[in-house]
Structure 1
Amino acid sequence: MTSRAISPDLPAALRAALEARLQGVSRNAAAERAAAISRTYRDGGGSTAIAGEIDALAYALARMPATYAADIASLNALVEIRPDFAPASLLDIGAGPGTATWAAAEAFASLKSFVLLDANEALRKLALDLAGDHGRQITYQRGEARGLLAKADAADLVIASYVIGEMGEAERTALAALMWEKTRGTLLVVEPGTPAGYARIIALRQQLIAAGAHAAAPCPHDGLCPLTSRDWCHFTQRLQRSRAHKQLKGAEVPFEDEKFAYVALSRAPVGPRPSRVLAQPAVGKAEVSAKLCTPAGLEMARIPRRDKQAYAEARRWRWGDAVMEQDAIPGRAGEGRDP
């Protein structure tokens, strides 16, 4: 399948606005703050380490590019499955510097209303400044996510990007139910592409499908995930690093690969849904083999070279792609069935 894909790199206007704010700021000091904030996040402290303007800028320069790339990749997948979806309103939960809002605005020209929720004042100020630079009007409410969300109006598109990992299980469950209540069209949740991130995504997915949601992406079905406990569904998005990004990260390589897990859940039934490539396919002289999640469950597709058209198409498959059902391809070997 193909569709108009948005670039995973930060929009030029956003990148320029961030880097302009770095003028006159010690790069070493900003890099130290970015590293300290990253350690706090890894230790479960969330945004508590972001206490002022420099902290917010350091965090945004270091993390916004990768978070944006994961959000855009997830939104691209949603648009491919739901090309008719044209949301007018967005609710961005745990919005931080507004990363998911920027991604959604790039993916959907139809968006007119932007409501952002977060508890961190420094990130809120930065998000408002960046939106103002671009001429975008946003409403940004500061406070605890669940309390603000309970009072918020429902929106066509609701996004929670890299948020639910900062919560305990009971709080996540309650927030998931409230997010779904506030979703008129589609809810998108994005998490790190770790086993723990996947576990949070799959628990939320199961909870909300039981409440009437339909999986739009990446899943080709509404059944239980067919992956075993030693495997987890995640994807990777490559993004280019700017000079400032490399300096803040202390990196030399001009790119990075962000691993992420996500689920897009729709109010409306979705179908028929294509299969999803769950790992980078192996391309050999005799065949292409690819791990697929299909409407029927987990399968290993083997496309022989003698089937020239199918082989040529399969050679173009990439990890995360939505591909048409492979029932007609000879040599497909089933690995399991969805319960």
Structure 2
Amino acid sequence: MAELPAALGAAIDALMEGRQRGDLHARAGRISHAYRAGATSTGVVREAGDALAYAVSRLPATYAAVRHVLDRLVERCPDFAPASGLDVGAGPGTASWAMAEAFPTLSALTQVDCNRAFLDLARTLAADAVSTALRQPVQRLADLVGKAPLPQSDLVVLGYALAELAQPSQGEVVERLWAATAGALVIVEPGTPAGYQRILAARDVLIGLQAKILAPCPHQAPCPLVAPDWCHFAVRLSRSRDHMAAKAATLGYEDEKFSYLVAVRPALFKEANAGRILDRPETSKIAVAAKLCGTDGTVAVALVPRRQKPAYAAARRLRWGDELRLGRNAAEADASPEPDASPDCLD
């Protein structure tokens, strides 16, 4: 269960003190409705109260997804120790917190957003953060499609922002981000078919720029999934009381679905030696079955039989989005093509 950093949760709670919950929750509902209708943050978040409503209702899920993706980057590149970070489409600094938590080496941070209310809130929320980079970021009030060069940074994150750009400009923005990337570029989008298509388009652009795809793909080949299937993952996060009220929710947790991409410079790249699990594994008394995107660029069903006890025990602990190392944690597992070569027949 993903949790917000204690300092971030406390900062949001402090800002909520003395506020009319009804007004804030109404703002959150309006923002959510507008986003679903395709509106951008500039037109929806117009003042400090709107920004805070967003932080209460939407920030936790965005943080959980970005932090999950950054943890995947740590898994694949355990020696990566970025000193500088660039949070593009920063909003209230959500990805900035995830970057600082995942990489304590971060000493300099630039936040770029076209919404002053968001940037002001980002600075307020980080006033008591442990990370100096979080407390003292360089903030740029700028449109993502602007022509001004972005600062070279070891780690660049674009979280839930491509959807706010017109389709023709998305590729140009990805090119600008890659030009600013000294080490790793992370892009996270909603885990919808449309979000996946934006990730796929960004992947094509980056491969064309000689970037190396580190995750989730364990290969550089075209995506093997066939519509209506799409590549996405999920993370579960706990909800605070205000979070539940803002979303009119009855459950104390939320499952955030997202699609993502991690691209790195060749110096950071390591060939994958494990496939990526693309759905919740199914465990029976006979075997663990996992839909697997393999290092060879194909999708297959990996079966880890119960008779292979160590491998079966290890496979039972694996989750959606994890790597499955056939020949290591599942030494004798069988991998077979999906029936009719169609991934969606597993869903």
Tell me the TM-score range normalised by the shorter chain.
over 0.9
Q: Write the distance in 1 (CA, Å) between the matches of 2:75 and 2:66.
A: 14
Residue type matched to 1:210 in 2?
G
Residue type matched to 2:140 in 1?
Q
Q: Deviations over 1:103-137 (max 9, x none)?
A: 00000011001000001111111001112232621
**Corresponding residue number in structure 2 for 1:158:** 156
5 Å matches for 1:37-56? 37-47=31-41, 48-56=43-51
Distance 1:264 1:315, change over 3 A: same
Residue type matched to 2:209 in 1?
A
**Corresponding residue number in structure 2 for 1:221:** 219
Q: Write the distance in 1 (CA, Å) between the matches of 2:6 and 2:186.
A: 25
Q: Is the 8 A contact 1:81 1:273 kept in 2?
A: no
Residue type matched to 1:43 in 2?
A
* TM-score, length basis structure 2: 0.92
Residue type matched to 1:144 in 2?
D
Q: Is the 8 A contact 1:30 1:58 kept in 2?
A: yes
Q: Deviations over 1:140-176 (max 9, x none)?
A: 111212327x332210000000000111221101101
**Corresponding residue number in structure 2 for 1:30:** 24
**Corresponding residue number in structure 1 for 2:262:** 264
Q: Write the distance in 1 (CA, Å) between the matches of 2:331 and 2:28.
A: 51
**Corresponding residue number in structure 1 for 2:345:** none
**Corresponding residue number in structure 2 for 1:3:** none
Residue type matched to 2:301 in 1?
M
Q: Is the 8 A contact 2:158 2:186 kept in 1?
A: yes
5 Å matches for 1:170-209? 170-209=168-207
Q: Deviations over 1:23-44 (max 9, x none)?
A: 1111111000001011111112
Distance 1:127 1:287, change over 3 A: same
Q: Write the distance in 1 (CA, Å) between the matches of 2:326 and 2:181.
A: 30
Q: Is the 8 A contact 1:197 1:261 kept in 2?
A: yes
Matched, 1:79 2:74: yes
Q: Secondary structure at the match of 1:285?
A: coil
Q: Write the distance in 1 (CA, Å) between the matches of 2:16 and 2:333.
A: 57
Q: Is the 8 A contact 1:90 1:156 kept in 2?
A: yes
Unaligned runs of 5+ in 1: 1-6
Aligned with residue 3 of structure 2, among 9, 14, 18: 9
Measured after TM superposition, the shift of residue 330 of structure 1 is 4.4
Measured after TM superposition, the shift of residue 325 of structure 1 is 3.2
5 Å matches for 1:1-339? 8-47=2-41, 48-134=43-129, 136-147=135-146, 150-268=148-266, 269-296=269-296, 297-326=298-327, 328-335=331-338
Q: Write the distance in 2 (CA, Å) between the matches of 1:55 and 1:288.
A: 46
Residue type matched to 2:313 in 1?
A
Measured after TM superposition, the shift of residue 329 of structure 1 is 2.6
Q: Write the distance in 1 (CA, Å) between the matches of 2:22 and 2:270.
A: 49
* TM-score, length basis structure 1: 0.94
Q: Write the distance in 1 (CA, Å) between the matches of 2:184 and 2:213.
A: 10
Q: Write the distance in 2 (CA, Å) between the matches of 1:239 and 1:130.
A: 20
Identity score, percent: 45
Residue type matched to 1:316 in 2?
R
Q: Write the distance in 1 (CA, Å) between the matches of 2:36 and 2:273.
A: 36
Q: Deviations over 1:289-334 (max 9, x none)?
A: 1101110121101111111111111111110112213595343212
Bigger Cα displacement from structure 2, 134-143 vs 184-193: 134-143
CA RMSD of aligned residues (A): 1.5
Q: Is the 8 A contact 2:276 2:292 kept in 1?
A: yes
Q: Secondary structure at the match of 1:151?
A: coil
Q: Write the distance in 2 (CA, Å) between the matches of 1:105 and 1:17.
A: 16
Q: Secondary structure at the match of 1:257?
A: strand
Residue type matched to 2:38 in 1?
G
Q: Deviations over 1:191-220 (max 9, x none)?
A: 000000001001101111121011111110
